[in-house]
Amino acid sequence: MSETQYRKLPIYAVIFAILIKFVFFLTHHIQEDAFITWRVAQNLMDYGVIGFNGETKISASTTHLYVFVSYIFNMIFGKEGFIIPLLAFNSILFSIGSVLLSHLLFKNNWHKAVFIILFGILPPSIKISILGMEYGILFFLEMALLYYGFKKEKKWVLLVFPTLILFTRIDTVIFLGVIFLTDIFWNKKIRWNYVLGGIVGVAVCISFNWFYFGEWVNNTIVAKKLTYDRTFTFQQNLEYFRLNYGNFWGMLKMPSDFNPATIIIVVFEILCFIYLVRQQNKRNYFLWIIFLFAWTKQIIFLSQKSLFDWYYWVPQVLLFVPVLIFVLEQKTKKNLWLTSLVIFYILPMTAFQTIHSIATGNGEWNYRRSIGLFLNQYEKDKKQWILLEPAGYVPYFSGLKTIDEVGLVDKQIQEEIKKDKPNYWLNTVKSRKPKYLLSNKDLFEDKNADYYKSEYRLLKEFRIKDHLESKNPVLEKIYTLKPSGTDYNLYERRKK
């Protein structure tokens, strides 16, 4: 059969990959921060303001574009029914992005089809698709820019897509910058349409932040830098790197300092990349872009001590691309290479992600959401305030006004951090007098226990051990094997 007769194989492959993602919806594994974005979208619906607490403007979400997309899905499907359609939308966009990536890398439709499936079931690909974050949209936009802008050379794409990408996440300036530098080095010329697109994108994002929020960058960036600011010595930085590198350059988080699996993966990725770029092939241009971007982003974010694993999802899957190409294009013993990859890496990783998603979904959807649902029933006055961390599930499902410890959704606590960081939590309680406190510590055993006892009463204890049971024995074993969640104490302000 000729190659043209296989032209529909990538389409079948992407449908199969999407259906696999849909099965993961049953795990209810949704990232905490997704609910921040979704509450911002609903705040825009209810108050006409991009914010988190009523009419107060604040860029509580990292992504502006995804807020507007979430807003549209809320308008269409309603607050009770938008989540699954939005997750499906994210999964479909990621899968379309993987198709565009396959077009950049392969000519053979069989290779494209197998690539789409294997690439789509890697753990970071599953998380990008199902966890409700903006990375499905982002991956699609980035791959569309490469395919339509730099392969098909559509000038309008070079002008428009940088703005959409930056409006999704401002840190994508790294991706756009790597493309710009690689393109100059490769083609020995400047694409002025792309330069103009980048300038317009930066101007639009900065202008929107300034004129709407009165700030140059998103509040989320300012809040995290303020709260998580750390000054390390050179030796401490080395130790920090040693303890954390394995969680980001590999696809499997291991509870140990030494992660040999990560070293093997990274070395193999580099060797495959070197092998491929030594060949005379036009796709090397795109291989250089995705490989340099992946390494650059991980190095920058790890150097800034950014521990949130979603920053590393896209780099993780892109770094693995050379491995998939290398295996699929083997001239001899291809079946052995492919079978070995699937049996010893792809399937174990997918199985691990399945267990991880089931356990985490239980800890977040079944457990943490229950705290919000309890408060939603208990407190009918949604103008009451709660101080807690993090600001995802509990505020979303309780509907209460929220002060989070980091200051993502409330700027006033940032002022307390600036004034007296060691005591900012207590000072916020004294000055703001929130009706509810949710803490992973026993405040009645705190050094300021006398104050807490005089002003608050323990309303309810929430314990993860109470959510490890299931009628399904397999699920119960998974919940027990990998308990996910934090014990909390909920305090209510005493009536005076």
Point out which residues pair with 490 in neighbouring strands: 438, 460
User: Which among 179, 212, 174 has a CA at the least distance from the CA of 194?
Assistant: 179
Shared-domain flag, residues 191 and 273 = yes
Residue 337 maps to a domain: no
Coil/strand/helix, residue 311: helix
Q: Report H helices in 304-384.
A: 313-319, 321-328, 334-341, 347-361, 369-378
Judgement on whether residues 116 and 41 belong to the same structural domain of the protein: yes
Residue 346 within a domain: no
Please state the rounded mean pLDDT for residues 311-329.
Answer: 93
Same domain (yes/no): 88, 208: yes
Contact 426, 456 (CB under 8 A): no
CA distances from 268 to 47, 244, 245, 278, 338 (A): 52, 20, 16, 16, 15
The b/e string for 194-207 (b: 16+ C-beta within 10 A; e otherwise) is: beebbeebbebbee
Identify the domain boundary among 288, 312, 329.
Answer: 329
Q: Does residue 343 lie in a domain region? A: no
Count of other CB atoms within 10 angstroms of residue 52:
25
Residues 128 and 198 grouped into a single domain: yes
Given 312, 329, 346, the domain boundary residue is 329
For range 420-435, the mean pLDDT:
94
Band (1; pLDDT cuts 50, 70, 90)? very low
Q: In this structure, which amino acid lies at residue 378?
A: Y
pLDDT at 419 over 70: yes
For residues 386 and 270, membership in a common domain is answered with no
Whole-number pLDDT of residue 372? 97
198 located within any domain: yes
Find the mean pLDDT for residues 31-37: 95
DSSP 132-182: -STHHHHHHHHHHIIIIIIIS--HHHHHHHHHHHHHH-GGGHHHHHHHHHH
Domain of residue 404: give its range. 358-493
Rounded-to-integer distance, Cα 207 and Cα 393, Å? 31
**Does residue 338 lie within any of the structural domains?**
no
Number of domains in the chain: 2
User: Are residues 295 and 427 part of one domain?
Assistant: no
Are 218 and 300 part of one and the same domain?
A: yes
Q: How many CA atoms lie within 13 A of 423 on its CB side?
A: 7
Determine which helix (DSSP H) or strand (DSSP E) holds 272, and give its type and residue range: helix 260-277
Q: Are residues 149 and 283 in the same domain?
A: yes
Is residue 273 in some structural domain? yes
Whether 189 maps to a domain, the answer reads yes
- Report pLDDT digits (tens) over 432-470: 999 999 999 999 999 999 999 999 999 999 999 999 989
Q: What percent of the chain has pLDDT over 70?
A: 93
441 and 322, same domain (yes or no): no
**217-to-36, 63, 289, 419 alpha-carbon distances in Å:** 18, 11, 26, 22
As a dihedral over the C-alpha atoms of residue 173, residue 176, residue 181, residue 183, rounded to 10 degrees, the angle is: 180
Global model pTM greater than 0.85:
yes
Same domain, 365 and 323: no
Residue that is last in its domain, among 329, 344, 367: 329
Same domain, 306 and 372: no
Quick one: 20 and 160 in the same domain?
yes
Q: Check residues 164 and 303 and name the one with the higher pLDDT.
A: 164
Q: Is 353 contained in some domain?
A: no
